[in-house]
Structure 1
Amino acid sequence: MAGQEPTAPAHGSPKLGYTNTNNSAPLPVMTQTDSRDKWSKKMDFLLSVIGFAVDLGNVWRFPYICYQNGGGAFLIPYILMAIFGGVPLFYMELALGQFHRTGAISIWKHICPIFKGVGYSICVIALYVSFYYNTIIAWALFYFYSSFSTILPWTNCDNAWNTPDCTNYFGRDNVTWTNSSRSPAEEFYTRNVLEIHRADGLRDVGGVRWQLMLCLFLIFTIVYFSLWKGVKTSGKVVWVTATLPYVVLLILLIRGATLPGAWRGVVFYLKPQWSKLLETSVWVDAAAQIFFSLGPGFGVLLALSSYNPFTNNCYRDAIVTSLVNCLTSLVSGFVIFTVLGHMAEMRKVEVEDVARDKGPSLLFITYPEAIANMMGSTFFAIIFFVMMITLGLDSTLVVLLLVIVCFLGSLSTLTYGGAYVVKLLEEFGVGSSIIVVGFLEAIAVSWFYGVNRFSNDIKAMLGSAPGIFWKVCWVVISPAFLAYIIVSSLVKAPPLTLFDYKYPDWSIKVGYMVALSSFMWIPIYMVYKLLWTPGSLKQRLAVCLRPERTIAEINRDALNMAAIP
């Protein structure tokens, strides 16, 4: 109508109102008083997203997977998977959270109600993550404390925890490295930090390490007081936790580049083994890495973006933060491979023969071993483990009740055999389940909610709809690459090992039960929703698949009506 001045759509508690500047009858428009917290500054949000996406996985998971898959050959599928899979899903979650301004559970009533179980699964997965992820940060805190000494405790074989296999080859020309040799750094990690030799696998994990329990308690205390006032507090904390790692990485990169033999690691990192591109496992690992690195499916991006203003440019945020994340992984690769090249030079072996095990051992054995033999080793050890702690802390989101639950749930990972539990939870509690969640989320949004409806939501926020590239990725490519990971992981599951321990068959079955315990809420809720919705089966399906009208849609319809002469 002429003279109509519509109120801009907002999100929060609905309130009926209207604006009218002529004498015609008032036209109702849904407006809102937004009671939801907002970020104090735009940079608070960006650093929080970067802090979540850039975590320990960038420092240990990416370099190790790259190491296992032929160095430079892995970078090709990694970049392709990022462009066509990871970044589109990252953008999708930021846009969903900002438009609907709600969390991972309640958002489904606005998308496709029958998929609400996905939100519950995300919560269970997040719980499993908290059981082991904070334990890894506690290990870093133990190292940080141990670093305050003139001589770092993992530099020699003269300690009470060392064995006859301990071999210190730095600064010595007549030492031969064999398959049974163990470095001082490895024995410090396995026999002093973990005391894993006191456990008999998963059958007898032994008692709780009180030193690690104290470290974990301190970590949870820091997490709680960083978040107890919501985004107003966490938005300030990330200014330190999200930026400090880059300062440390730069320092370590410069130092690593000056180490003898560093060039050998860089060559291995950048020179592709082209035959590796013909192996399916390389592409599966690349897809899995970019998915875990950017973090869609965990619900955190939904939560963080829900505190943004409605018109915030989430497209630009997605591109910037994704680029920062991927570049961080690439830089971390240079940092790690310069060190691996140095270690290969000292041991007189090939670069591919340096690292033994997958997972945190790359952080807690390989790096401390190299740092211990640098000039100013105490300084470099301190800043390295500060970086690890901050990388972990700004990826953790919990409140007081969850802090208590997560701390109690983490006790099994603090035992002498806790590292075995950490590995099991990492593999089954998160791995397969979160990929299934991401796949179903992509299907629900692009197929059931509808890519056109979703594009209109983005247009309402940004003023322009996403291009054809994003639509094709959301509808076809991203779901396809997630389905590819799921099928490939089911067809060929590698044996699970840690150090010299091979996980028994019964523990693998337990792992699948853990995975099922998070995924099962999706079909359970689907059945519940269909049974409790009134009407015929056809009517029930229509109701369960149709999103509830959001406040923004009511606003948009009212404004369209107002524009009719």
Structure 2
Amino acid sequence: MTTRGDLQVQLEEDEKGGYEALVIPVEPEVVPTKDAGGPDGRETWGSNADFLLSIIGFAVDLANVWRFPYLCYRNGGGEGTSYYPYIYTGAFLIPYTLMLVFGAVPLFYMELILGQYNRQGPISVWRICPLFKGVGFCAVLVAFYVSFYYNVIIGWALYFLVASAAPNLPWVHCNNTWNTEWCWESTLLGPAPGLNYSTNTSLGWSTTKLPHSPASEYFHRAVLEMQWSNGLHEIGYPKWQLVLCLLLVYTMLYLSLFKGVKSSGKVVWVTATLPYVVLTILLIRGLMLPGALTGISYYLKPELSRLSDTQVWVDAAVQIFYSVGAGFGVHLSYASYNTFHNNCFRDCLITTAVNCFTSFFSGFVIFTYLGFMSHKQGIPISLVATEVYPEAVATLPGSHFWSMLFFFMLIMLGLDSAMGGMECVITGLMDEFHSFFQGRRFAREIFTLGAATVSFSIALINVTPGGIYMFHLFDTYSAGISLLCSALFESIAISWFYGLERFSQDVESMLGSKPGIYWRVCWKFISPSFIITWLDVVDECVKKRNIKSFKNKRGACMTRCMNVVEGKDVYKDREGVVMFGLLYYQPLQYNGYHYPYWAEWIGWSLALSSIMMIPLVAVIQLLQTEGSLKEYKPRVLFSSLVDINSCRIFVKGILEFNVNLFSSFRNFSSNAAMLVTDIQQMLISPCEEN
């Protein structure tokens, strides 16, 4: 028996005279603290409800409240011949449900099991399969990068909340000092004269040839002050009002997190529940408005012929994958604070149901107001889809109250999601380097303060006059392909290397029964294929130019907040797909501004810094492990290996997929094919039996 770090390795002679490595993870010694709630001394949630509200709060944000109804609208069907085009949206729910059941939910459940059974953060949990430890570092980096700009969005909402208390809402009229001659009060005065109302539904909300709305000019010129910057080369100084809002956001995050899950578990009782109260109030008020039922009819009636459109399926996959939030490591971190026998299966189903309900429910709310605005302006709903809540509620009696209520809801939706991302960073690093933090007074409090300070310092660049360009850069590169890689390799590591049988035994020891055949098939085949096949589907759409933008959940989906306050799709100049940026790359743009090459290099460096953690840590693990590369290292690093045949079949399948992908390139040379063959021989050889 040999002990190496967190592993005990015992060599046993097999039938062929060779040696088989039996690897046994060693639990690290943990010194119980005053808050210890588990038998190993690890802190636990105050109640299961705290945990449930935390994962619900992280999963539910503007991707549900704003983007889902829009996707239903865009993917519903064609136009009719009447004055109001019949855009039926229920068809989108069919691919959405299928993607949910066979793709996102199995990955979500896997993360809950992984965290609860091992009771470790997203990095140290990979003691079970050290070769894939880089997946944890990748997830932590992605969560940290997203905090650089995600919290800025909450700061914007806070700014608008304060502005809502002004005697006159500043985004309603065009008579302010920041307004230009292109400003037109379309919501209050009806459509602008002499304009062609042709629509383009490929970009965010349907766009029309309208002048700037008051909300758009207020956001760009009064809040962001973009008129004082021509790009990243003259970014300017932070705007002090936005700095104060951002500082208040980080202060709330710190006070929620510095005591661990005991404190954050109480905060989510407010942040995760109040949005539903606000949505209900907004729905009741919306149903009292004329034209509300017309808007709802647009939302519900399906047009099944739309199911033949690949775009519908891609949008469903994008929405549900990022909405559930798999791959960030947040669910894994939260689950690590559960008691060992907590029913995480029940929690998975409840969270998924609430997530779907929120998306569907918010659609009713949004379309009641769209129907009202269509009725008031006398134009089709397809032409008011560019309009937004602030302008809609401005027409209501007591508009200040409704506006404050709306932005308060945005803040609540953002805070619990931001808390999840920061908790992933804190738990991941403190668990991985537990020997450093162990025994130190106020270790959690000090490290949380340090992480929040670093994130706040970097986020300040986004509240300058040119900060929106940096914001867009962060949003584009922080969590696109990186998040997909994290989820893909997590699924591969558990299903193919740690082994489904062992994983099922872990579930049985916690819940009393093994997972059914549905979960096993999804974990081993469907969920990894869900991510990989997604690449081919989106690839085809990009070639046909069916997709003009690709928005991840914690990134660009959240920037729908910008749509909420400006009245148009801020991504209208962005083409292509983040995950296909290397294959179908086009220069990054924002509002007509073309990013310089050095800025794009910064963006790609940001993206690759998290992705490269996966192979880099794998190489480090290889170098740190003693023994023969062919006979010893694979068995140690893959831990309790699934049978060798499965290893060989998996590697061959992945390599064959790569060969088929590369062969489709016109200029792909024979040298590349030889390289793939060499890699195939190199990778499969260590997995074969002696």
Question: Which digits, 9 at most, give the CA deviation of each residue in 1:414-436, with x for residues without a partner?
Answer: 12232333333223211221012
Q: Is 1:327 paired with 2:379?
A: no
* Counterpart position of 1:6: none
Is this contact kept in 1: 2:30–2:41, CA < 8 A?
no
CA change 1:43–1:512 in 2 (3 A) is same
1:103 aligns with 121
**Distance of 1:322 and 1:12 partners within structure 2:** 33
- 1:247-286 counterparts in 2 under 5 A? 247-286=277-316
Q: Which residue of 1 aligns with 2:64?
A: 58
Structure 1 residue 456 and structure 2 residue 505: aligned?
yes
1:45 corresponds to 2:33: no
Map of 1:3 onto structure 2: none
Contact kept? 2:59, 2:325, Cα under 8 Å = yes
Tell me whether 1:408 sits opposite 2:501 in the alignment: no
Q: Which of 520, 525, 543 matches 1:471?
A: 520
1:85 to 103, 118, 128: 103
User: Aligned partners of 2:383 and 2:236: how far apart in 1?
Assistant: 32
1:530 equivalent in alignment to 2:622: yes
Q: What is the letter of the counterpart of residue 256 of structure 2?
A: S
Alignment-derived partner of residue 638 in structure 2: 545
Q: CA deviation at 1:309?
A: 0.8
Partner of 1:150: 167
Using the TM superposition, name which of 326-335 and 313-322 deviates more. Answer: 326-335
Residue 161 of structure 1: aligned partner: 178
Aligned in 2, Cα 1:166/1:103: closer, same or farther, shift over 3 Å? same
d(CA) in 1 for partners of 2:73 and 2:57?
Answer: 24
Q: Could you tell me which amino acid in structure 1 is paired with residue 505 of structure 2?
A: N
Q: What is the RMSD computed on CA atoms of the aligned residues?
A: 2.4
Instruction: Give the Cα–Cα distance (whole angstroms) in 2 for the partners of residues 429 and 503 of structure 1.
Output: 19
Distance 1:116 1:258, change over 3 A: same
Q: Distance in 2 between matches of 1:34 and 1:164?
A: 67
1:419-459 Cα distance to aligned partner (Å, 9 max, x none): 33333322321122101211111111111111111111111
TM-score normalized by the length of structure 1: 0.85
Deviates further, 294-303 or 136-145: 294-303
Query: Does the C-alpha gap of structure 1 residues 12 and 68 become closer, same or farther in structure 2, counting only changes over 3 Å?
Result: farther
Deviation, structure 1 residue 96 = 0.9
Shifted more, 374-383 versus 203-212: the winner is 203-212
Does structure 1 residue 381 correspond to structure 2 residue 403? Answer: yes
In 1, the alpha carbon distance for the partners of 2:375 and 2:488 equals 44
Deviations 1:526-553, CA, capped at 9 Å, x for gaps: 12222222111121111111159xxxxx
- State whether residues 279 and 362 of structure 2, in contact with CA within 8 Å, keep that contact through their aligned partners in structure 1: yes
> Shift of the alpha carbon at 1:481?
1.1
Structure 1 Cα separation of the partners of residues 152 and 295 of structure 2: 30
Partner of 1:189: 219
Question: Where does residue 559 of structure 2 map in the other structure?
Answer: none
Preserved CA contact (<8 Å) 1:38 1:309: yes
The structural deviation recorded for 1:62 is: 2.2
Other-structure match for 1:69? 75
* Number of equivalences: 514
For 2:321 and 2:367, the matched residues in 1 are separated by: 23
What one-letter code is carried by the residue in structure 2 that aligns with 1:373?
A: T
- Three-state SS of the structure 2 residue aligned to 1:395 is helix
Q: Deviations over 1:187-236 (max 9, x none)?
A: 21222122223332445433322211110001000110111111111111
C-alpha deviation, 1:464, in angstroms: 0.8
Deviation track 1:150-170 (CA, whole Å, cap 9, x = no partner) reads: 321212112111112221244
Q: 1:439 to 1:165 in 2, by over 3 A?
A: same
- Structure-1 separation of matches of 2:535 and 2:516: 28
The answer on 1:126 being equivalent to 2:156 is no
- Provide closer, same or farther for how the CA distance between residues 426 and 281 of structure 1 changes in structure 2, counting only shifts above 3 A: farther
The alpha-carbon distance between structure 1 residues 343 and 128, as it changes in their structure 2 partners (threshold 3 A), is: farther
Which residue in 1 is equivalent to 2:479? 430
Measured after TM superposition, the shift of residue 349 of structure 1 is: 3.6
The verdict on how the C-alpha distance between 1:77 and 1:177 changes in structure 2, with shifts beyond 3 A counting, is: farther
- Measured in 1, the distance between the counterparts of 2:332 and 2:216 equals 39
CA distance in 2, matches of 1:511, 1:74: 33
Q: Distance in 1 between matches of 2:190 and 2:538?
A: 45
- For residue 480 of structure 1, report the CA deviation from its aligned partner: 1.1
- 1: CA distance between counterparts of 2:618 and 2:174? 58
Check the 8 A contact 1:14/1:33 in 2, yes or no. Answer: no
Q: Distance in 2 between matches of 1:93 and 1:239?
A: 23
> How far has the Cα of 1:273 moved from its partner?
4.3
Q: Give the whole-Å Cα distance in 2 for the aligned partners of 1:267 and 1:131.
A: 40
What SS does the aligned partner of 1:430 have?
A: coil
Could you tell me which of 501, 504, 520 is aligned with 2:592? 501
Correspondence list, 1:170-185, <5 A: 170-172=187-189, 176=193, 178=195, 179-185=209-215
8 Å Cα contact 2:68-2:363 kept in structure 1: yes
CA displacement at 1:516 relative to structure 2: 1.3
Letter in 2 for 1:310: F
Distance 1:515 1:486, change over 3 A: farther
Deviation at 1:59, TM superposition (A): 1.7
C-alpha deviation, 1:69, in angstroms: 2.9
Greater alpha carbon shift after TM alignment, 225-234 vs 338-347: 338-347
Distance 1:420 1:345 in 2: 37
AA paired with 2:218?
A: F
SS of 2:479's partner is: helix
* 2:627 partner SS: coil
